[in-house]
Amino acid sequence: MDLFGASVAPIVAFFLLGELAVLVTLIVAIILARLHKGSIHHYLVLIAFLSDSLLFKPLMLSRASSAWGSWPWDGTRIAPHLLVSIVAAVLGVLAVVLGFRYRVKKGSKMFLPPKGKLHRTIGWLFLVLWLLTFTVGIVIFLETYFP
């Protein structure tokens, strides 16, 4: 099928558009956290993180194996892409655990007390590594379909 002017397999189009949706959802979730809308932040970030980790990333790994062979995918950037995404996923799990550990609920509102600072730090680190993974993924896409 046609995606951004390139002819790609439907599964590639699915996970690429899925990752773009995850990116937008993460950005909105972080803006909401900055605006102290902790409750909506936590729903959005959970949807983004879980759909990314349980659906789109496994589909990418399966596509890497079927289309590019096995580890370490010599001559491609897939191995560093995968390794950074694993570290990001670990930080994401930590951010989720720390969010639940430190959050304070008052009615429909959700806050982080000062000791929840670690959640913010790990959350930002996760975002930086997630964006790095995303950028390398886009570079792989461009190099493959627009050589």
| Residues in contact with ligand HEM by the rule CB under 6 A | 30, 33-34, 36, 38, 41-42, 45-46, 49, 92, 95-96, 99-100, 103, 110-112, 119-120, 123-124, 126-127
Between 1 and 90, whose beta carbon lies closer to ligand HEM? 90
What minimum distance in Å lies between the beta carbon of 92 and ligand HEM?
4
User: Which of these, 49, 46, 50, 42, lies nearest to 104 by C-alpha position?
Assistant: 42
Do 1 and 10 touch, CB atoms closer than 8 A?
Answer: yes
What minimum distance in Å lies between the beta carbon of 131 and ligand HEM?
11
Do 89 and 57 touch, CB atoms closer than 8 A?
Answer: yes
What minimum distance in Å lies between the beta carbon of 86 and ligand HEM?
14
Amino acid of residue 21 = A
Do 84 and 56 touch, CB atoms closer than 8 A?
Answer: no
Between 66 and 121, whose beta carbon lies closer to ligand HEM? 121
Between 16 and 95, whose beta carbon lies closer to ligand HEM? 95
Per-position b or e across 4-14, b if 16+ CB within 10 A of its CB:
eeeebeeebeb
Between 4 and 100, whose beta carbon lies closer to ligand HEM? 100
User: Which residue is associated with the tokens 């790990």?
Assistant: 122
> Is 103 in a helix, a strand, or coil?
coil
Between 98 and 140, whose beta carbon lies closer to ligand HEM? 98
Listed in order, strand segments (DSSP E) in 66-108 are 104-106
What minimum distance in Å lies between the beta carbon of 101 and ligand HEM?
8
What minimum distance in Å lies between the beta carbon of 133 and ligand HEM?
13
